[in-house]
Amino acid sequence: MIFSTVQTQQQQQRMQAVPSGEEPTTAPAPESSAPRAVSKEIEVCFAPGLERQLRGLEHFTSDENDSSDSSDADSVAQAPESRALHDAEFLSQLDGGQILVEGNGCLNYSQSTPVGNAALSSGIQVISFKVDADASPAKSAVAEVSLMSGKTVSLQAHSDESVESLRARAQKALGAGRGRLLDSTGRVLDGGAPLKRARLQNAEPNEPNTQPEPLTLSVRRVDISGGLLAFAAILTDGCGLSWGADRFGGDCSAVKDQLKDVQQIHATRGAFAAILANGSVVTWGYDGGGESSAVRDQLKNVRQIQSTLRAFAAIRGDGSVVSWGDADYGGDSSAVRDQLKDVQQIQSTSCAFAAILADGSVVTWGSTIADYGGDSSVVRNQLKTAQHIQATERAFAAILGDGSVVTWGNADYGGDSSAVRDQLTNVQQIQATSRAFAAILGNGSVVTWGDAYCGGDSSAVREQLKNVREIQATSRAFAAILGDGSVVTWGDADYGGDGSAVRDQLTNVQQIQATHYAFAAILGNSSVVTWGNAYCGGDSSAVREELKNVREIQATSQAFAAILGDGSVVTWGQNISGGASSAVRDQLKNVREIQATSQAFAAILGDGSVVTWGIAESGGESSAVRDQLKSSNQ
């Protein structure tokens, strides 16, 4: 960049040409009542094609010694806003000198010739300048921008263009949604910076052997996470957004400016925690975990977050853990801080956390009441080589390396497995209702324990539980898919524990989804069979004919939503909880994914837009953020 200063006429009379890097020497100006030209620093910029422009050149005169002549004091003369300095190739080699700006607007260069009185009398201005050695002219360049799919476009650019401008042009040329520009190393480029500061290796037209910098337009899909009564979304540009009940995380306005480059979002009952690309964490919400200022400095290099109803626990890159929120729900881990090293994964009940360390040992904390699983001292010596942990509302079950199981917490919620300990061998996976566990063994059989009415007693169907492939659960019942595609159910009949009425229809079952009270099974022919509480999704007879070619099913606590092969959606169950979608039916086209809170649905369409329905205060109404959801794709 070149910086210049308009000199006073008195200084000009004795100004000599100056070498590069030195300031001009001047003699003191004599006393005079003549108008004095006031200096102003101006900037000479580089324009594409190596042509420099003089921008913002202006001067004015003021008569400080003769206040009687107001016309002189108020007179203003302004040069054209931009003057091109011709013979740019020659000027680009100069280190400094003088530019003569004549009254007719012509610009002449003088490196050594002093300006005489004759020139001054004819109204010539003299501008001294020097070239910043670090400056470089704007260069014409080629940028190749690609999508992850491989689609590529080549764009002409110049070094003064902003990264954001290039991103917008690439997005339009590629016909893609809003994204971020990444360099060849995967580094996200600062949108506000000019390309020349992005340190890209551009290909110039006159240098054919220089390869253009390969850039990637990273257009991520909109990701939505559901809390209890609010949604949080990661938009295509990596920004975060939320809506729903304000006190349950639906209002993120206080941290909106911080929600950039969001990678993951996790929820407690009433708060959200977002992990950013730099490993820091941003939290918001009123109830449990929304306030993290006490641990903000510790929330660095975070790679994973787990939650209870009212607290968060974050695993950092070094394997340590930071927790915050309600202390009675696991928000205070200070008592076990020294033990929390090399943590691999964390599981939680409603009020406590359990961390598996690299050596297979387990550390627990949370509610001071042992019956929630926060105190594992009774089984500490047994907790060796833990591989995986599952949880009910108030108890934990850990699968060890040898396939055995160790449990602790409230006995009525599955914390005591002593009655079936000898049967728990070669355990492959464990599923849970709110108060009971079901373990699938290596031979395909199932062992259950916990509250008998919530699935803890499977004795009535024990002989049928052979070759079990998968188990799904409502809050009080289990449904097992067998190897032949049939289904076996047990637990509370009002929660789907009795599937006898539809047993003959449950053939070639591919997957099962559940509300809190009912099950929905997708069959091999893509039709759907439902059972359980009729008002909460167990009765789909009203939409049976529509449930064809079903691709996926999502659920709130009391309703189901099925995505069909053509991208449309069919809903049933409690109307207010998302079972009725007639108000948005015409919008539900080309649906790619559906997420849910306890009482509302949010559908992500193929173009990245979002459609919501259900209880407004639970996220079913998103009009307040509709424009932001749209703009992220533009």
DSSP string, 28-52: PPPP--S-EEPP-EEEEEEEGGGEE
- The lowest-confidence range among 104-113, 495-504, 544-553 is 104-113
| Residue 479, phi then psi, degrees to nearest 5 | -140, 120
- Look over the chain and give the mean of its residue pLDDT values, rounded to a whole number: 80
Pairing mode, strands 214-218 and 140-146: parallel
Please report which confidence band the pLDDT of residue 191 belongs to, taking 50, 70 and 90 as the band edges: confident
Integer angstrom CA distances of residue 305 from 165, 276, 289, 554: 35, 12, 12, 23
Residue 478 to residues 355, 442, 446, 497, 518, Cα–Cα distance (Å): 26, 19, 11, 6, 10
**pLDDT band with cut points at 50, 70 and 90 for residue 200:** low
| 3-class SS of residue 345 | strand
Vertex 95: Cα angle to 93 and 97 (nearest 5): 115
Quick: pLDDT tens for 531-555: 999 999 999 999 999 999 999 999 9
Q: Based on the number of CB atoms within 10 Å of its own CB, is 443 exposed (0-12), middle (13-18) or buried (19 or more)? A: exposed
pLDDT(90) > 60 = no
Task: For residue 30, give the amino acid letter.
Answer: P
SS percent in the chain: helix, strand, coil, step 5: 20, 40, 40
pLDDT greater than 70 at residue 27:
no
The H or E element that residue 24 is part of is none
Among 206-220, 309-323, 593-607, the least confident range:
206-220
Band of residue 221 on the pLDDT scale cut at 50, 70, 90: confident
Q: In angstroms, rounded to a whole number, what is the distance separating the alpha carbons of residues 241 and 84?
A: 47
Q: Work out the average pLDDT over 577-590.
A: 96
Instruction: Give me the architecture of the 141-199+212-218 domain, per CATH.
Output: Roll (3.10)
Residue ranges of the domains in the chain? Answer: 141-199+212-218
How far is the C-alpha of 71 from the C-alpha of 63, rounded, in Å?
Answer: 9
Give residue 233's pLDDT.
Answer: 95
- Give me the residue label for tokens 């014409």: 140
The whole-number pLDDT of residue 162 equals 82
- Asked if residue 379 lies in contact with residue 421, where contact means CB atoms within 8 angstroms, the answer is no
| 307-360 residue pLDDT tens | 999 999 999 999 999 999 999 999 999 999 999 999 999 999 999 999 999 999
Q: How far apart are the first and last CA of the chain?
A: 34
Burial of 557 (0-12, 13-18, 19+ CB in 10 A): buried
Q: Looking at residues 275-292, what average pLDDT do you find?
A: 92
| Secondary structure tally for the chain: helices H, strands E | 6, 44
The per-residue pLDDT for 52 is: 34
What CA–CA distance (Å, rounded) separates 475 from 432? 8
pLDDT of 220 over the 90 cut: no
Mean pLDDT, rounded, for 502-525? 97
Is the per-residue pLDDT at 41 higher than 80? Answer: no
